[in-house]
């Protein structure tokens, strides 16, 4: 049987193998539906089968082999759309290429036992490999384009976020040089400069942690004996200075002592409180409740506001993820998109994690879980 005919007739068998392999690419595919796992696989296979049957001259074959394809733009192809969707689903470039490697192996493993004409087989193998390499190139090109766009957006937001505190510090410095400033005015300006410096230090810390995580080095912890109730109060104080119009209510119960990195846990709680204040309903309080149990500690941060969709919840802890404006009523963030990612990485480094639940009746709650480790 010709390879192109085999692909069309056995499309479902190949798709099942594609689905099984995609399912193994955790954590990107965790919770994905069958439809999402298969994505554009059927259209990609149909395009490959059609390409095998397409007549091409030696010149066209050479140009294709060296990546000089002159056909229509790739943006509208199924493979290009697949690369875009996989990027949005938080796949890595390695996982995308692995899907095509597995697809190539699957098709050949299923088809070769049906081969009867060796010479015809060789020709079809060449065309098949050309077609699947072309599809892979289209997916990778689209994936890389999305990655580049995300990086550019990240740099733009970083520049925007740094400009505000820098401008405030510049104006404060100019004001401090004015003659006749009273002690109260000097104290006020000094407080503004201190807050701006603290904000910029936090941003630099997030960037450093993000870089370490992306390089696979992990986060370094400096553990010490900590009473988490004190850390929560510290985080509430900092969040209040950033969002003075928001009321933060802290409650605690149980033994909250443990062996943690106090500075990093402060960052986790501060990031969650700032996120809750930013996305919460105005004039509604943000609740933070810490609970100590024999083996674990839990800290929940709750705000009332728009429900976060299931799709958004699945990717909300990924780096540089920004919820689309208008999606489930969520406002577009004006930060770097690293806060929740860093918070989750710190919780994982402590052996715990962060979960999110969101509903119209109970609001949105981010819950930090931490094992009560000993020195």
Say yes or no: 52 and 112 in one domain. yes
**pLDDT score, position 260:** 92
Q: Average pLDDT for residues 248-274, to the nearest whole number? A: 92
**pLDDT score, position 370:** 94
Asked whether the predicted pLDDT for residue 358 surpasses 70, the reply is yes
Say yes or no: 41 and 132 in one domain. yes
Asked whether the predicted pLDDT for residue 329 surpasses 50, the reply is no
Say yes or no: 192 and 316 in one domain. no
**pLDDT score, position 145:** 86
Least confident range from 79-83, 221-225, 279-283, 325-329: namely 325-329
- Most confident among 114-118, 214-218, 260-264, 362-366 (mean pLDDT): 362-366
Say yes or no: 144 and 156 in one domain. no
Question: What residues are paired with 288 via a beta bridge?
Answer: 250, 301
Say yes or no: 45 and 33 in one domain. yes
**pLDDT score, position 367:** 96
Q: Average pLDDT for residues 16-28, to the nearest whole number? A: 84
Is 177 strand, coil or helix?
A: coil
Rounded CA-CA distance 284/44 in Å is 49
- The total number of structural domains in the chain stands at 3
Rounded CA-CA distance 328/324 in Å is 9
**pLDDT score, position 92:** 83
Q: Is 28 exposed, middle or buried (0-12, 13-18, 19+ CB in 10 A)?
A: middle
**Residue pLDDT, tens place only, 262-311:** 988 998 998 899 889 988 888 899 999 999 998 899 999 999 988 988 87
**pLDDT score, position 17:** 92
Domain that holds residue 197: 151-214
Say yes or no: 253 and 335 in one domain. yes
- Phi and psi at 352, nearest 5°, equal -115, -140
CA proximity to 200, closest of 240, 158, 230, 172: 158
**pLDDT score, position 327:** 39
Q: Which of 191, 214, 237 is the last residue of a domain?
A: 214
Q: Is residue 85 part of a domain?
A: yes
Pairing assessment for the beta strands 286-292 and 248-253 based on DSSP bridges? parallel
Q: Is residue 158 part of a domain?
A: yes
User: How many Å from the N-terminal Cα to the C-terminal Cα in the chain?
Assistant: 67
Q: Which residues contact 329 (CB under 8 A, 6 or more apart)?
A: 305, 306, 307
Percentage of the chain surpassing pLDDT 90?
Answer: 34
CA proximity to 136, closest of 109, 96, 88, 90: 96
Say yes or no: 81 and 163 in one domain. no
**Residue pLDDT, tens place only, 37-63:** 888 999 999 999 998 888 777 776 666
How far is the CA of 325 from the CAs of 47, 147, 328, 331, 332, in angstroms? 35, 20, 9, 5, 5
Residues 209 and 342: beta-carbon distance below 8 Å: yes
Say yes or no: 160 and 130 in one domain. no
Q: Which of 149, 167, 190 is the last residue of a domain?
A: 149
Residues 49 and 4: beta-carbon distance below 8 Å: yes
Q: Which residues contact 174 (CB under 8 A, 6 or more apart)?
A: none
Model's pTM, two decimal places?
0.58
Say yes or no: 12 and 131 in one domain. yes
Q: Is residue 219 part of a domain?
A: no
67 vs 164, higher pLDDT = 164
Rounded CA-CA distance 19/99 in Å is 10
- Phi and psi at 283, nearest 5°, equal 70, 5
Q: Is 118 left (phi over 0), alpha (psi -120 to 50) or beta?
A: alpha
**pLDDT score, position 330:** 37
**pLDDT score, position 366:** 96
**Residue pLDDT, tens place only, 159-192:** 767 777 888 888 888 888 888 888 888 888 888 8
Say yes or no: 237 and 193 in one domain. no
Average pLDDT, whole number, for the chain? 83
Say yes or no: 113 and 235 in one domain. no
258 vs 320, higher pLDDT = 258
**pLDDT score, position 323:** 42
Is 321 strand, coil or helix?
A: coil
**Residue pLDDT, tens place only, 92-138:** 888 899 999 999 999 999 998 888 777 778 888 888 998 999 899 99
**pLDDT score, position 74:** 55
**pLDDT score, position 121:** 82
CA proximity to 165, closest of 126, 195, 124: 195
- Most confident among 101-105, 121-125, 205-209, 335-339 (mean pLDDT): 101-105
**pLDDT score, position 240:** 86
Q: How confident is the model at residue 321 (pLDDT cuts 50, 70, 90)?
A: low
For residue 365, the domain's CATH number is: 3.30.565.10
264 vs 151, higher pLDDT = 264
């Amino acid at each position: 049987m010709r390879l192109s005919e085999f692909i069309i007739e056995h499309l479902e068998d190949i798709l099942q193998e594609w689905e099984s392999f995609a399912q193994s690419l955790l954590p990107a595919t965790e919770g994905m539906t069958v439809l999402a796992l298969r994505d554009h696989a059927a259209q990609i296979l149909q395009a490959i089968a059609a390409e095998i049957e397409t007549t091409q001259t030696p010149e066209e074959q050479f140009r294709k082999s060296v990546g000089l394809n002159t056909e229509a733009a790739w943006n509208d192809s199924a493979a290009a759309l697949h690369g875009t969707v996989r990027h949005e689903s938080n796949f890595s470039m390695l996982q995308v290429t692995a899907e095509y490697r597995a697809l190539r192996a699957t098709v050949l493993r299923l088809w070769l036992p049906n081969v009867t004409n060796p010479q015809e087989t060789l020709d079809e193998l060449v065309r098949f490999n050309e077609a699947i390499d072309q599809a892979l190139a289209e997916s990778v090109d689209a994936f890389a384009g999305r990655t580049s766009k995300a990086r550019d957006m990240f740099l733009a937001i970083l520049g925007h976020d740094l400009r505000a505190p820098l401008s405030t510090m510049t104006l404060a410095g100019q004001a401090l040089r004015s003659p006749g400033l009273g002690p109260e005015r000097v104290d006020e300006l000094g407080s503004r400069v201190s807050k701006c410096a603290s904000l910029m230090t936090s941003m630099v810390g997030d960037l450093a942690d993000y870089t370490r995580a992306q390089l696979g080095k992990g986060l370094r912890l400096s553990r010490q004996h900590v009473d988490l109730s004190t850390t929560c109060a510290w985080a509430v104080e900092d969040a209040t200075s950033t969002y003075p119009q928001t009321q933060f209510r802290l409650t605690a119960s149980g033994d909250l002592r443990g062996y943690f990195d106090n500075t990093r846990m402060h960052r986790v709680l501060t990031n969650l409180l700032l996120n809750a204040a930013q996305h919460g309903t105005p004039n509604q309080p943000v609740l933070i409740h810490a609970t100590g149990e024999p083996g674990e500690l839990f800290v929940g941060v709750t705000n009332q506001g728009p429900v976060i969709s299931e799709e958004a919840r699945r990717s909300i802890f990924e780096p540089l993820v920004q919820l689309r404006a208008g999606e489930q009523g969520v406002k577009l963030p004006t930060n770097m998109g690293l806060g929740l990612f860093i918070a989750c990485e710190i919780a994982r480094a402590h052996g715990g994690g962060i979960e999110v639940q969101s509903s119209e009746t109970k609001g949105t709650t981010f819950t930090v879980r931490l094992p009560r480790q000993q020195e």
